[in-house]
Amino acid sequence: MAKQPKKKAVAPKENGGKKNKGGRPSPYKPEYADQVYKLCLLGAIDKEIADFFNVTESTLNLWKLKHDEFSESIKRGKTFADATVASKLYHRASGYEHEDVDIKMFAGEIITTKLIKHYPPDTTAGIFWLKNRQPGKWREKQEVEHSGDLGIVWKEEKTYEANPETNQGD
């Protein structure tokens, strides 16, 4: 009969019998979800977010996987910021108008006049929008493929120098 290995006696753990995963505890804190949302509204990219929290990008990616609220905050912040900028760029590219109030002083009296300010389309914003939305149609750099012979022939020229030793007796 083969010997059975002896089982080691295990002392109860101080954490209520739960298995200890070991390793360094994560520096993640629940309040980071609100902070990362605000960073994304400012246009921060993952590298900048990682630098803000003083962690590596790989740690930031782990936090995204392990903490749903953190991941959702990043998505919401980036989506809101991108949508806001896209909307403003669209209005700038296509032109827009808004209500305004003109305030003047006349004969010691303040006079307010409601008016509508009109902003014409901005050509540069339109070009930028189209280049990014439809790059196939609106790219600046045209790629031209050339096939065929250019007809260039290289000729090797030979040059000679006079040898000073042979021309001494003249």
What digits encode the pLDDT tens for the residues 1-48?
566 666 655 555 555 556 656 778 888 999 999 999 999 999 999 999
User: Residue 155: what pLDDT?
Assistant: 76
User: Residue 9: what pLDDT?
Assistant: 55
- Angle ∠(82,87,89) on CA atoms, nearest 5: 95
Of 137, 37, 139, 126, which is closest to residue 89 (Cα–Cα)?
A: 126
Query: What are the two backbone dihedrals, phi and then psi, of residue 45, each rounded to the nearest 5 degrees?
Result: -100, 170
Determine the Cα–Cα distance for residues 48 and 60; give it in Å rounded to an integer: 11
> Domain-by-domain residue ranges, the chain?
32-138
Determine the Cα–Cα distance for residues 61 and 66; give it in Å rounded to an integer: 9
Residues of the chain short of pLDDT 70, as ranges, are: 1-21, 142, 150-151, 164, 166-170
